[in-house]
Structure 1
Amino acid sequence: MKHYIKLLRPKHWAKNLFLFVPSFFAGKFFEVDKIALLAGGFIAFSLLASSIYIINDYNDVEDDKKHPEKCKRPLASGAVKKNYALALSILLTITGLATAFFLDSSGKFLFVTLIYYCMNLSYSFGLKNISIVDILIVATGFVLRVKGGAILSEVNTTEWFIIMTFLLALFMAIAKRRDDVILKMSTGTEMRKSMKGYSLDFLNTLLGLFCAILIVSYVNYTMSPVTYKKFGYRAYYTSLFVIAALMRYLQITFIHNKAGSPTDVLYKDRFIQVTIVLWAISFFVILYLRDLTFFDK
């Protein structure tokens, strides 16, 4: 049973917490009906994501056997039979889409999940081998999670919010590709065909570029008229935590060369965990405790 659970990659379900972000920033995080819908959305996305992971592992089983870590995956190690894994993937897909269908009568959430599923299916069957396209698809997946959360929460997402979600996901995807390039340089093993379109210098340049763009975009967002109208001047204080987290991620990437999986970094690195918690608390105070006497309205 543990091999089947590992096959689902439950650790990566944390990415689907992005569904809750629009509700949080709209001040509706504690509305029970919205949370119930978002929890259902989280389940739907998690089931579909696990289905895609299985298909990806199914297609990459021979390449994974050559990887120092991926060779331990259930399919690559032979712990789970390929036909059983494929049957499980089909079951997860049907259940995930059915869940999405029942959550939203308008069909919009189902439409988003279908786009997410088809896009990632295309990724698994070939688009992941095209450099630049591969990381753009990864980043778009996070945007779709946010859009799905906005639909279930019945809130609007601003252009700034979508842009920053995309940039953050793209930044982390680039860091992961850099780790793959370093692995290729040290072992001589090319784990992805898309690696032919990447070099260490190219990815280092992209990381620095998108980190700068992300910081500038976030600061501009906190000082934009829409944000000022909603949160007042206090939102720009949260820039400190964003900058600190990005600096730490760069440190992990360039100094420690351990940016292989953004999810693993999130689970293991205490510094980033603390900055995320402080960032969330600061926005929680601004949004939900705005009438405290030590805050100006």
Structure 2
Amino acid sequence: MGDTSNMPLVVDLDGTLTPTDTLQESLVRLLRHSPMSLLCLPLWLMRGRAGFKEAISKRVTIDAQKIPYCAPLLAYLHEEKSRGRQIVLATAAHHTTAEEVSRHLGIFDKVLATHAGNNLKGLAKLKAIQENVGGAFVYAGDSKADLPIWKQARAAILVGVAQRTAAQVRCEVSIEREYPKLSSGVAVWLRALRVHQWIKNLLLFVPLLTTFAFADINKLGSVVLAFLAFSFAASATYIVNDLWDLESDRAHPRKRLRPFACGALPILHGLLVAGVALGLSLGVASAVSHGFLGMLVTYLVLTSLYSWVIKEYVLMDVLMLSLLYTIRILAGSVVIGVVISSWLLAFSAFLFLSLALVKRCAELVSLNEVGAGATRGRDYRVSDLVVLWPLGVGAALCAVVVFGLFISAPETQARYATPKMLWLVAIGLVYWMARLWVKTSRGEMHDDPVVYAIKDRGSRLTVIAMIGAAMAAYFVTLELQP
């Protein structure tokens, strides 16, 4: 077909230049800032695709600096531009979005995009290209919808194209460049679902352990089902939260690599998986008991309030996080039908407040290391560390004090065979919490202290030792000298 290296290079936007879908991102942003707009979507859809995009673009704009780009393709476009090749952006996205991207990247000679009444996709895009560029061009695209354009192009650039579609294109035109799709396999979905965070839901087993009823198979089975229900619900909320926080996550040094933030997973797929996970969660919860279902719904309401409103307010967010940890213990007590003691509730409240503050301090330390002064999407500044450090350490010590008072309580003295052995647990708590705070100050803490504790050998050994000491205090009778 001859040399095509000097022919105009026409580039698609959604799925090609960027792995994300700008229309879906616009919808998420619109619903975040104006939830009532959801009621208007059916009316806008009646205007056709071009009219729908026009209605969305009037209300929100995409920040071209924040969306992810296909780095290898973008590097190639810059290289071709530097040697004088004409680069054209041709997309079904609304023209306001396309022009914003063009201004940001500064490499396009011309922009062809959707205007009111003309949705630039498929044959409509091909016609616009032929009218504005001519018949000799190279086209970079990503999907089956681009086949009519590739058939008329002199060469193709394939970006994340499915194997079957790629084979069809190879039969029609020569391939100038080919870039693989971002990985979206099982491992990526496990990251999006945050299966490693399911460890938090082991708190449901706490009432089973504190009542030493783990030998009761029926109760154990019920708690296992409750664990699965909470885990599915948590994964659903994690996905929705990640979609809600796309902009702020992309400004974060580590969160920008999350599957939805970097464009490895489509937004629409995320919503579908979240819906399925939520349905499974509610189904399993209803099979456990109506009381537990009520606790799960309460958790979903509170975590939604946290994600949509409360996390933007300083300190209120960490208080809500500590409540979300504690509600897992309450849910576990509902499953096995026991009443949680005020000692356990007070201890949990202070302990989880300290862990929540560890999480915030770790984020601020990370931001400080890269020279940032404040979090995006949350009302925290690096200068707040002087207040958050003592508050978090103080909360940890309060938890230890509550535990010490629990050891001396008459009901504990009557229930445990050797209650004085529980002081070993108290010592373990002091060491473990102090260790977490020291690691945080050194910048070694993961964003989530629970995840860090799982990976940290010292934390694992300390927690195991504390559990062993608590069980020994309950079962083993020793004559300890005062």
2:296 pairs, out of 109, 113, 119, with 113
1:246 pairs, out of 433, 439, 456, with 433
TM-superposed CA distance for 1:295, in Å, is 6.0
Q: Number of residues paired by the alignment? A: 291
TM-superposed CA distance for 1:119, in Å, is 0.6
Question: After the TM superposition, which residues 166-205 of structure 1 pair with which residues of structure 2 at under 5 Å, given as runs?
Answer: 166-187=349-370, 188=372, 190-196=375-381, 199-205=384-390
**Contact in 1 for aligned 2:362/2:443 (Cα 8 Å):** no
Q: In 1, distance between residues paired with 2:401 and 2:441?
A: 21
**Contact in 2 for aligned 1:8/1:50 (Cα 8 Å):** yes
Relative contact order: is structure 1 or structure 2 higher (C-alpha 8 Å, sep ≥ 6)?
1
Q: Does 1:290 align with 2:473?
A: no
**Equivalent in the alignment of 2:346:** 163
Which region of structure 1 is more displaced relative to structure 2, 227-236 or 29-38?
Answer: 227-236
Unaligned runs of 5+ in 2: 1-185
Instruction: Give the partner amino acid of 1:237.
Output: L
2:217 pairs, out of 15, 18, 32, with 32
Unaligned runs of 5+ in 1: none
User: Which stretches of structure 1, 4 residues or longer, exceed 4 Å deviation after superposition?
Assistant: none
**Contact in 2 for aligned 1:223/1:236 (Cα 8 Å):** no
Q: Let me know the Cα RMSD of the aligned residues.
A: 1.8
Q: In 2, distance between residues paired with 1:66 and 1:197?
A: 15
**Secondary structure class of the residue paired with 1:19:** helix
Q: 1:222-255 deviations in whole A, cap 9, x for unaligned? A: 1112211211533333212111212211221223
1:134 pairs, out of 305, 317, 325, with 317
Instruction: Give the partner amino acid of 1:279.
Output: M
Instruction: Give the partner amino acid of 2:312.
Output: N
**More strand as a share of residues:** 2
Q: In 1, distance between residues paired with 2:201 and 2:188?
A: 22
**Equivalent in the alignment of 2:462:** 275
Q: In 2, distance between residues paired with 1:5 and 1:132?
A: 30
Q: In 1, distance between residues paired with 2:423 and 2:394?
A: 22
Q: In 1, distance between residues paired with 2:332 and 2:449?
A: 21
**Contact in 2 for aligned 1:175/1:259 (Cα 8 Å):** no
**Contact in 2 for aligned 1:241/1:276 (Cα 8 Å):** yes
**Secondary structure class of the residue paired with 2:380:** helix
TM-superposed CA distance for 1:95, in Å, is 1.3
**Contact in 2 for aligned 1:131/1:196 (Cα 8 Å):** no
**Contact in 2 for aligned 1:131/1:198 (Cα 8 Å):** no
TM-superposed CA distance for 1:143, in Å, is 1.1
**Secondary structure class of the residue paired with 1:77:** coil
**Contact in 1 for aligned 2:354/2:393 (Cα 8 Å):** no
Normalised by the size of structure 1, how large is the TM-score? 0.92
Percent identity over paired residues: 23
Question: After the TM superposition, which residues 76-91 of structure 1 pair with which residues of structure 2 at under 5 Å, given as runs?
Answer: 76-91=261-276
**Equivalent in the alignment of 1:265:** 452
Q: In 1, distance between residues paired with 2:459 and 2:437?
A: 11
**Equivalent in the alignment of 1:11:** 196
**Contact in 1 for aligned 2:365/2:382 (Cα 8 Å):** no
Which region of structure 1 is more displaced relative to structure 2, 113-122 or 259-268?
Answer: 259-268
Which region of structure 1 is more displaced relative to structure 2, 10-19 or 278-287?
Answer: 278-287
**Contact in 2 for aligned 1:140/1:166 (Cα 8 Å):** yes
1:224 pairs, out of 393, 398, 409, with 409
Q: 1:88-120 deviations in whole A, cap 9, x for unaligned? A: 11111121112111101xx21111111100110
TM-superposed CA distance for 1:34, in Å, is 0.9
Normalised by the size of structure 2, how large is the TM-score? 0.58
TM-superposed CA distance for 1:274, in Å, is 0.7
**More helix as a share of residues:** 1
2:398 pairs, out of 213, 227, 244, with 213
